[in-house]
Structure 1
Amino acid sequence: MNLPRYPGNVLVTGGASGLGAATVAAVREAGGLPLVIDRAPPAEPVRHVLADVSETGAAEAAVGELAEQAGGRIDAVFTAAGVDACGALDAVPAKDWERVVQVNLLGTAAVVRAALPFLRRSRGTVVTCASTLGLRAVGDATAYCAAKHGVVGFTRALAAETAGEVGVTMLVPGGMDTHFFDDREEQYRPPADAELNQPGHVARTVLFALGQPPGSEVRELVVCCSREGSWP
């Protein structure tokens, strides 16, 4: 398999499952060193710290600990950690609604903020994980849409702020065949015949972004199954 150039030390949030785990596997296959932050331990024996990225202090401490384990060097960050809470605004408990924003948006910002000193030294790259619902909106998804629209704005502003210092790419994936939908009520799950992207395919696009030559950046990247309906 023709993978991009050696990706270096890549910090992945949510790296124990789904797209995060697929990206960890791709980084290892490409010769890089994955560094995982997750609430659950990864299935593979990779360097990791158990932490909840919605807690800013814990996220910052986890980044520092993993950087130390990696000899003080972080070459890239991929913020794959994400949660959802489907339902009408007045039907979703406030704590569940707010957690979606805390994990998806505030957790992304906390990890990137903590990693920036290392990324500036390595001239590294940030890949954030937005969503097709960060560029459009549907009912019963106010929390997720708010969080992912926030990731879009955060990433675009970060790219402007760190231009020439740190590479910034926004990944916009469509629906994927992962356990992300497992805990949803039936009405909020993809139908049985839905054609979803494989997380391993999407992980290759993360490495594509990380593999760009110095001075060249993929700013935004939409990736979805060609017959899946979340895009455009």
Structure 2
Amino acid sequence: MTANQPTTGPSVLVTGGSSGLGAAVVAGVARGGGRPCVLDLQKPADGVPWVKCDLADTRGAEEATRQLADQVGGLDGVVTAAGMDVPGRLADVPAETWERVVAVDLLGTVAVIRAALPYLQRSRGRVVTVASTLGLKAVSDATAYCAAKFGVVGFTRALAAELAGSVGVTLLVPGGMRTAFFDEREERYRPPEDASLTDPGSVAAAVLFALSQPPGCAVRELTYCSETESSYP
């Protein structure tokens, strides 16, 4: 993408929009004539409005969401694609690190959506939260990530019931993707070379499908993963 961004079309805020799934969603929104904007610690593609934001600072995330929404003239959609993980046994992961995973993945998701709600209710917009297959199936050495993603699943299901008829809510449950998510892990926590990982562009297409539903309809939950994904079912 370049600085020549569309000036019309739905505005969609994407957390974590500078890389991985978030960047693929940003690109897809722009290709479809929409207006993506980003909350992230890193700068997204050229010309995409963004506010630098650490989602672990929930009050800061709320303020950044309002700032960005006002900057782009409102919001029609929010996609919470930002996420992190530091795997390890509970006794071995520093408390600050464990709690940061939960803060970014769960509390940051909630904070952004909370701040975006007035804009989404005015536009009768849509939310897509990004959980994980590890929000449905627990595994060893992932207590923080599972706690956060199980939380995203429960939060989103409750939010869908709460906002029914005013804001569309979709829970996306992706499996492992071919992104930099695994790059900084110890070797034992990385997918093997022959692992079947999904392309983030394909997962982004599922997000866009959820965002594009007609008024009065919503894709409530969508699991998207490799046919051989080991963490689903």
Query: Which of these residues, 46, 49, 53, is aligned with residue 48 of structure 2?
Result: 46
Could you list the runs of 5+ residues in structure 1 that have no partner in the other structure?
Answer: 1-5
CA distance in 2: counterparts of 1:110 and 1:57, whole angstroms: 7
State the TM-score, normalizing by the size of structure 1.
0.95
Match of 1:67 in 2: 69
**How much has 1:227 moved relative to structure 2?**
2.7
Q: Deviations over 1:112-141 (max 9, x none)?
A: 000000000000001000000000110000
Residues 193, 148 of structure 1: CA spacing in aligned structure 2 closer, same or farther, 3 A cutoff? Answer: same
Alignment of 1:21 with 2:23, yes or no, is: yes
What residue identity is the alignment partner of 2:100?
Answer: R
For residues 92 and 7 of structure 1, the distance between their equivalents in structure 2, rounded to whole angstroms, comes to 44
Aligned partner of 2:188: which letter? Q
Matches within 5 A, 1:211-230: 211-230=212-231
Distance 1:7 1:149, change over 3 A: farther
The AA in structure 2 aligned to 1:14 is: G
Q: Which runs of 5+ in 2 are unaligned?
A: 1-7
Q: Percent identity?
A: 65
1:57 paired to 2:59: yes
Please state how far the C-alpha of 1:230 moved relative to its aligned partner: 2.4
**What letter is aligned with 2:148?**
A
**TM-score, length-scaled by structure 2:** 0.95
Instruction: Tell me the alpha carbon deviations over residues 191-215 of structure 1, each in whole angstroms, 9 at most, x when there is no partner.
Output: 0000100000000000000110101
Q: Structure 2: how far apart are the matches of 1:162 and 1:142?
A: 30
1:189 maps to what in 2? 190
1:10–1:27 contact (8 Å) kept in structure 2: yes
DSSP 3-state at the match of 1:202: helix
Partner letter of residue 12 of structure 1? V
Q: CA deviation at 1:70?
A: 1.1
Aligned residue runs from structure 1 range 84-103, under 5 A: 84-103=85-104
Question: Which amino acid is the alignment partner of residue 129 of structure 2?
Answer: T
Are the equivalent residues in 1 in contact too, given 2:137–2:231 (CA < 8 A)?
Answer: no
- 1:137-176 CA-to-partner distances (Å, cap 9, x unmatched) read 1000000000000000000010011111110000000000
Report how far residue 7 of structure 1 moved: 6.4
The secondary structure found in structure 1 opposite 2:116 is helix
1:85-113 per-position Cα deviation (integer Å, ceiling 9, x unaligned): 10000000000000000000000000000
User: What amino acid is the match of 2:36?
Assistant: P
- Counterpart residue number, 2:82: 81
Following TM superposition, the consecutive aligned residue runs of length 4 or more in structure 1 with deviations greater than 3 angstroms are none
Find the residue that maps to 2:51 and give its secondary structure: strand
Supply the distance in 2 between the matched residues of 1:119 and 1:230 (Cα, whole angstroms): 33
AA partner of residue 51 (structure 1): C
Partner SS for 1:204: helix
Counterpart code for 1:169: T
Q: How many residues align?
A: 226
Distance (Å, rounded) in 2 between the aligned partners of 1:226 and 1:208? 20
Output the aligned Cα RMSD.
Answer: 1.0
